[in-house]
């Protein structure tokens, strides 16, 4: 199963515009990613189930409310390095989440062939995953989809979760189709939340109009 949600809120689109601006400073770029991480987290948590239960207020009045299920079973996996600020925002919503990291890079020196890159995964450190867990993958941009497809194939080796979410700022139609196909092949429930679907990828594999190299713009080249 694959589901795509575009977060088209004015506040999110305003932040995205700031991120796209080449004159935005390194600090403001990172802050923008943190804010979008929080927004994406709020949107994702709307997809969680709830249990109803009753509480008593200080006025000794009983009232029905809800408790969000699976918050304590959430695992956030950060795709290094660009996604650290995005994860910082997600953690403000999923404050009890366990965390893991995957160091994955496109082998750009080999070039792109048929809209695919070779992906080198040099480090994986994630908590134990079971069918009780919900996994959120944090990655700023999903261009060709090569990296996240490789990451997903790696993650399922550690156990399959109840659901997988992708929290990202920008993706492309090409990546969406690859992720949809991968979710079917792996037999996983995959739900993607993005702020924009950009139309093109250039011959270097960069999203157009995009926002440049998110890692360099966040932390320096």
Q: What are the residues facing 137 on neighbouring strands?
A: 77, 166
pLDDT at 19: 97
Residue 147 and residue 150: Cα distance in Å, rounded? 5
Instruction: Give the CATH number for residue 68.
Output: 3.40.50.2020
Say yes or no to pLDDT of 112 above 90: no
Q: Which domain holds residue 151?
A: 2-219
Domains identified in the chain, total number: 1
pLDDT at 117: 72
Which tops the pLDDT comparison, 135 or 221?
A: 135
pLDDT at 115: 66
pLDDT at 187: 96
Distances (CA, A) of 65 to 37, 56, 68: 26, 10, 10
Q: pLDDT of 33-43, one tens digit each?
A: 999 999 999 99
pLDDT at 47: 97
Say yes or no to pLDDT of 111 above 70: no
pTM confidence score: 0.93
Distances (CA, A) of 160 to 28, 178, 214: 37, 19, 29
CB 156 within 8 A of CB 188: yes
Q: pLDDT of 174-220, one tens digit each?
A: 999 999 999 999 999 999 999 999 999 988 888 999 999 888 899 87
């Amino acid at each position: 199963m694959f589901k795509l949600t575009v977060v088209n809120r004015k506040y999110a689109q305003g932040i995205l515009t700031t991120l796209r601006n080449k004159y935005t400073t390194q600090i403001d770029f990172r802050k923008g990613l943190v804010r979008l991480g929080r927004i994406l987290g709020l949107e994702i948590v709307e997809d969680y189930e709830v249990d109803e239960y009753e509480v008593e207020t200080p006025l000794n009045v009983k009232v029905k409310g809800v408790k969000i299920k699976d918050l304590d079973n959430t695992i956030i996996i950060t795709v290094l390095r660009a996604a650290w600020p995005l994860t910082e925002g997600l953690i403000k919503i999923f404050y009890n989440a366990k965390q893991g990291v995957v160091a994955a890079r496109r082998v750009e020196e080999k070039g792109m062939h048929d809209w695919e890159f070779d992906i080198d995964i040099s480090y994986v450190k994630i908590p134990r995953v079971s069918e009780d867990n919900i996994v959120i993958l944090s990655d700023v941009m999903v261009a060709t989809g090569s990296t996240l497809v490789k990451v997903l194939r790696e993650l399922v080796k550690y156990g399959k979760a109840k659901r997988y979410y992708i929290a990202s700022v920008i993706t492309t139609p090409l990546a969406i189709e690859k992720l949809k196909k991968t979710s079917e092949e792996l037999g996983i429930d995959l739900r993607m939340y993005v702020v924009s679907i950009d139309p093109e990828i250039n011959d270097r594999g960069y999203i157009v109009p995009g926002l440049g190299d998110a890692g360099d713009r966040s932390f320096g080249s």
